[in-house]
Structure 1
Amino acid sequence: MKAISPHFYQHDFSCPCGCGFADVSKELVALLESIHQHFEQPVQVQQGCCCADFNKSHGGEYASQHLLGTAADITVNAIAADVVADYLESTYPQKYGIGRSASYTHIDVRPVAARWRE
């Protein structure tokens, strides 16, 4: 297992299809480390990178940030997804993609702000 930061490994971001795609953005990993530090709780990556075939077979968007290795769907141990999204939106009001779901928070490191609820 290749550690890419104090709390994350390369395999945490691997495409679920098993193709091996896990070329994750350093900025995203640094952002996830900051979330870990803020909440003082483990951050779990539910989905990180995904290849075009996996994305298409699961109804993903054509321009998904997951295809670029710049996005993660995360949960934070014992913290509600809306609380995580609230923190991210207040900390980064002018940048990043932040999506709200009942069970996870989507975060991506696009340079402009984008917000949505699933």
Structure 2
Amino acid sequence: MKAISPHFHRHDFCCPCGCGFADVSIELVALLEAVFEYFQQPVLIRRGCSCTQHNKACGDEYASQHLLGTAADITVEKTSPDDVANYLEATYPQKYGIGRSESWTHIDMRLTVARWRE
């Protein structure tokens, strides 16, 4: 598949169910490029876009940003999820949704500020 940025392809964001949904936000891709540049390590998309069925299968029963193509759960090679979340929170203190988990970091382009730990 064609690259949508220097380090990401549309297929990186495809819904895992195989439906083909991969309409990812350009703002999200730009933010993930900034994460790559900061850490100088590959950014792996664990979950990007989700169709309604896959979103429910993941346990999201609310209007998830993954449904809009404006969210990603990521890992950064050789970097702890807390270090990634700390960078995002310091860089975007008044923007976005940033969630922490033991094994990944969530980032989304919501219009309000949100922070949480799973």
Interval containing the TM-score (normalised by the shorter chain): over 0.9
Match of 2:81 in 1: 81
For 1:12, the aligned partner's letter is: D
Match of 2:58 in 1: 58
Deviations along 1:36-73, one digit per CA (max 9) or x if unpaired, are: 00011110000000000111122113210000000000
Deviates more, 1:50-59 or 1:64-73: 50-59
User: Can you give the 5+ residue segments of structure 2 that lack an aligned partner in the other structure?
Assistant: none
User: Can you give the 5+ residue segments of structure 1 that lack an aligned partner in the other structure?
Assistant: none
User: Identity over the aligned pairs, expressed in percent?
Assistant: 70
Distance 2:90 2:58 in 1: 31
Runs of 4+ that moved beyond 4 A: none
Deviations along 1:62-107, one digit per CA (max 9) or x if unpaired, are: 2100000000000000000000000100110100100000000000
Distance 2:58 2:92 in 1: 29
Distance 1:83 1:76 in 2: 9
Distance 1:51 1:89 in 2: 27
Cα-Cα RMSD: 0.7
Match of 1:21 in 2: 21
TM-score (norm 2): 0.98
